[in-house]
Amino acid sequence: MNRRSRWFLVGGLLVALLLAGVVSNYASSHPDGLDSSLLKGCTVDARGEITGGSCPAQQAKQHELSDSPLAGYGIHGVDNRFLSTGLSGVLGVLITFALGGGLFWLARRRAPAPTAGDDRAAPKS
């Protein structure tokens, strides 16, 4: 990897870490498109709890991994919501970067090793 590509990669990683660690805390707390469409037909209070009506969201169940360390856009055990969300985002970026980089490393094309009868093995004059 040349020097320019390395700086581009490091810069992209730093921007992703900044967005995940800091800017993610300022994302909208309003329900996204899927959540809001599932709430159509129900009345919801200020805390986001369904108080009446009929909608698909009433059939929702707790996910099996809802008590996992990174569930709910935060890290369990970290009481500061800003820090918990930021660390969760940073950890997600690092895991994704490591997995993606590992897959690219495994999938990259390598030139076959030159053999004795191969023109590429002969020294240039």
Mean pLDDT of 12-17: 95
pLDDT value, residue 20? 93
Q: CA 114, CA 125: separation in Å to the nearest integer?
A: 18
What single letter denotes the amino acid at residue 18?
A: L
Q: CA 79, CA 76: separation in Å to the nearest integer?
A: 8
Q: Where are the domains of the chain?
A: 1-23+70-108
Q: What is the pTM of this model?
A: 0.66
Q: CA 80, CA 108: separation in Å to the nearest integer?
A: 41
- With a pLDDT cut of 90, the percent of the chain lying above it is 35
Q: CA 69, CA 36: separation in Å to the nearest integer?
A: 26
Mean pLDDT of 93-101: 94
pLDDT at 116 over 80: no
pLDDT at 8 over 80: yes
- Report pLDDT digits (tens) over 70-83: 888 889 889 998 99
